[in-house]
A = this chain, B = another copy of it.
Amino acid sequence: MKLKLLLTSIGTLLLAGAANAQEAAATPVADQIADVKFIIDNLWILISAALVFIMHLGFSALESGLCQKKNVVNVLFKNVFIISMGLVTYYLVGFNSHYPSDWIIDGWLEIGGPAGYDSAAAAANETREYADYTYWADFIFQGMFAATAATIVSGAVAERVKLGSFMIYSTILVAFAYPIAGSWHWGTGYLNRMEIPFYDFAGSTVVHMFGGFAALAAIILLGARKGKYTAAGLKPILPHSLPLAAIGAFLLFFGWFGFNGGSVLSADAASVSLVFTTTALAAVGGGLGSILISWAVLKKPDLSMALNGLLAGLVSITAGPDVITVPMSIVVGFIGGIIVVFSVLFFDKLKLDDPVGAVSVHGIVGIWGTLALALPFFNGDNDSVSFGSQLTGVALVGAFAFAFSFVLMLILKVTIGIRVSEEEEDEGLDVAEHGVAAYNE
């Protein structure tokens, strides 16, 4: 009895000892480790947000470099406005539209309120209970994406759009249209509810193609720049500064490491490494594709096309940098680089004037990338993606972006007007609208 008691006592002690050791070490240790991992994951999201931010400088430099000297201030002003307005409206309505709470039309339409949370939820939102990152990291990373759609349109409508109208247009596009399309995919909307959900890793469709098709509607209503499509044929309007455009394209490439890499939504070693690799290889594949094809077709090594080729490669891979295999990422980018050349020539045939090629780079190549990831040859027979779902997503987002943009631009056109006067266009928007030239002595 005594011995049994003893044994029991010892057993108890033993268990208690082990339990203590586990309590002091095992259980909280797992939490401690998870907390450290959380810090890394969160830090990567934040660094990615900074990288995506610099894409706004990339877009500014690319667009202003490709337009005429007399319209540079206008392009830069629009870009400062877009990032400013875009982040504020994303704070006010956009962010919560991506996090479904109250659907107005289930799966299709919701409008969120301002970001932020009551103090009761605050603590949890800054811990692993929320996600692999904090609430505000989530906000600032996604907020940097939000204005991109308007930036894409900005390039396409450059050199003739009326500033005030564009400011209204871009505000409504970013505050309402972009979050709605985003909620179909990133919220729990329709595209996410299909049997095999629509796949768009970092936003080839819901960011880039969205912007490209909104731009297409805008340039149809706006008309071409004066003097480009003449009776004697196309008269090219030359970029005012190719070094500025090159700075822009390289900075976009740089920022894309955050755009795609941050979309892993953690610092997971295997995933982020793969995404960096496929992203960079697709970009340079696109550069090579554009260089070769434009040389063959245009009979000269074309720098603008080479730069657009890099961007086309990047847009091509953005839908599936984790799905498309490494060797195929070069091929997918290469084809994207070829597509962009023919697309630019095609829209010029249609006399749809797009000074920076935004519809081609983001819209047409966005379609390519989104569909390509569903092709077995490119994704290594990955059956978690479906060509049908991809086509559905492309069609819905493209149609919505085009329609929303068309209606909004049309309303502005018949009310306050969307195009500057001929005199202003001749003089240039810088002096006409801003009272200052971009370059002075």
Contacts and interface: CB of A to CB of B under 8 A. Distances in A.
A56 B114 contact: no
How many copies of this chain does the complex contain?
A: 3
Contacts of A277: 136, 139-140
Contacts of A15: 17
Interface size grouping (class) on chain A: 35 or more
Interface string A45-70: 01101110110110011001100111
Interface in A216-257: 238-244, 246-247, 249-251, 253-254, 257
A438 B241 contact: yes
A247 B115 CA distance: 30
Given A269-B38, A269-B137, A287-B80, A53 B254 contact: yes
Interface centre among A18, A32, A42 (most CB of B within 10 A): A18
B25 A29 contact: yes
Contacts of A375: none
Interface string A415-441: 000000000000000000111111111
A441 B83 CA distance: 27
A204 interface: no
A342 to B, nearest CB: 19
Contact of A57 (B18, B76, B254): B254
A364 interface: no
Given A46-B273, A53-B253, A267-B43, A242 B441 contact: no
A143 interface: yes
Counting from the closest, the 10 A-B pairs by CB-CB distance are A25-B26, A84-B287, A238-B440, A57-B250, A126-B270, A84-B284, A136-B273, A42-B269, A17-B18, A137-B273
Interface of A: 2-3, 6-7, 9-11, 13-15, 17-18, 20-22, 24-26, 29-30, 32-33, 36-40, 42-44, 46-47, 49-51, 53-54, 56-57, 60-61, 64-65, 68-70, 72-73, 76-77, 79-81, 83-88, 91, 114-116, 126-127, 133-137, 139-140, 143, 163, 238-244, 246-247, 249-251, 253-254, 257, 261, 267-270, 272-274, 276-277, 280-281, 283-285, 287-288, 291, 300-304, 306-307, 310, 326-327, 330, 433-441
